[in-house]
Chains A and B, each alone.
Chain A
Amino acid sequence: MLVATLVPLQASILGLVALAATAVALCRNTLRQILLSGVYGLLLVLLFVVLQAPDVALSMLVVTTVAYPLIVLVAIARTRAGGVDGSDGDDDA
């Protein structure tokens, strides 16, 4: 059976993924949280690439950087009182 060991590159990206996941969980500002979750997703993509799973990485890449943030942003823009034109600035662009 095939057995690989965790190389330093994989280990360091795994560490970054853990860091980013913690940051997403601890973030209190919704807009920043969405951006952070995008960064977290990108790090997961990197992890899949170094683990030699390019097909999974590609699926993750498009979902995590565009589809998911867009849907969440749009939903939040509407539910927030006063909408995207509120005091928070240009959240919609």
Chain B
Amino acid sequence: MTRRRIRGAVALPALGVLGAVLFWGLSGLPPFGNYHGIYGFLINHRALPQRHTTNAVTATVFDYRGFDTMGEEFILFAAVTGVVLLLRKTGEEGEDEPPEEEVRSDALRLFGMFAVAGGALVALWLIAYGLVTPGGGFQGGVALASAFALLFLAAGYGPWARRAKDAALDPLESLGASGYVIIGLAALISGLPFLTNLLGPGKPGTLWSGGSLSFINWAVAMEVAAANVILYKDFLEQYIAPLARGRG
């Protein structure tokens, strides 16, 4: 028997069992569009009168289960810290200057400039109106970091490395992460339960809807955006800088 046939003989029974289990699970699913949850209906009816937010999803994330979201935010913080620790510069790699590699195509640079600016604008809009329309700190934060990452694609490693600096990113990330806790503690200091909406509830449909929630929203956005840029920065430093250096 060739290796291919042996692999097939081993894989087929396993795939058959997996397929059967999946089919069994699928056949037991409720019909399409059948919604069993009660909390969805409850929050859809309560979010606007209680929290003055028209986007019930963001109200849920930052208020009804705000404490869980704080945990999630710190999962991201810890994950990024782990990556930074793993990809840190060791002694032999040294602290070289970033290689001066730039994209020379005018068309790409021009298109890229519009992409970066447009992306950043959309991201800020997603964050700012996170409590009004779909979006919010998490999505907007990732979008903002992605817009910044386009700078590398459109302008090259040199311009990217000059702008993505630890000195700016680390304080932003820490401020974002601690901001959430500070907003929570502010309520505690005032003698109210942790994360109570002190400034709320705000005016529905405006940038100020949700009160404290809008600050939590911006804190999360800052943390997520900075965390993602730090990730990109470390990846690019580790993987692309040696290549660019070899070429330059």
Contact = CB atoms under 8 A, between A and B. Distances in A.
Interface in B218-242: 228, 231-232, 235-236, 238-240, 242
Interface bracket on B: 35 or more
Contacts of A71: 231-232, 235
Contacts of B136: 55
Contact of B149 (A67, A78, A84, A92): A67
Interface in B104-129: 105, 108, 126
B150 A58 contact: no
Nearest to A71: B235
Nearest to A79: B239
Interface string A1-22: 1111110000000000000000
Nearest to B238: A78
A54 to B, nearest CB: 4
B239 A67 contact: no
A-side interface mostly: helix
Given A55-B139, A66-B149, A6 B32 contact: yes
Interface stretch (B46-54, B140-148, B166-174): B140-148
A92 B31 CA distance: 45
Contact of A5 (B32, B146, B246): B32
B149 A77 contact: no
B82 to A, nearest CB: 15
A59 interface: yes
Contacts of A2: 33-35
A63 B243 contact: no
Interface of B: 31-36, 55, 57-58, 103, 105, 108, 126, 134-136, 138-139, 142-143, 145-146, 149-150, 152-153, 228, 231-232, 235-236, 238-240, 242-243, 246-247
20 contacts: A1-B36, A2-B34, A3-B34, A5-B33, A6-B33, A55-B57, A58-B126, A58-B139, A59-B138, A62-B139, A65-B146, A66-B149, A70-B146, A70-B152, A70-B232, A78-B238, A78-B239, A78-B242, A85-B247, A93-B105
Given A4-B32, A67-B149, A70-B153, 4 more contacts: A57-B134, A58-B126, A67-B228, A77-B239
3 A-B pairs closest in CB distance: A4-B33, A54-B134, A66-B146
Interface of A: 1-6, 54-55, 57-59, 62-63, 65-67, 70-71, 74-75, 77-78, 83-85, 92-93
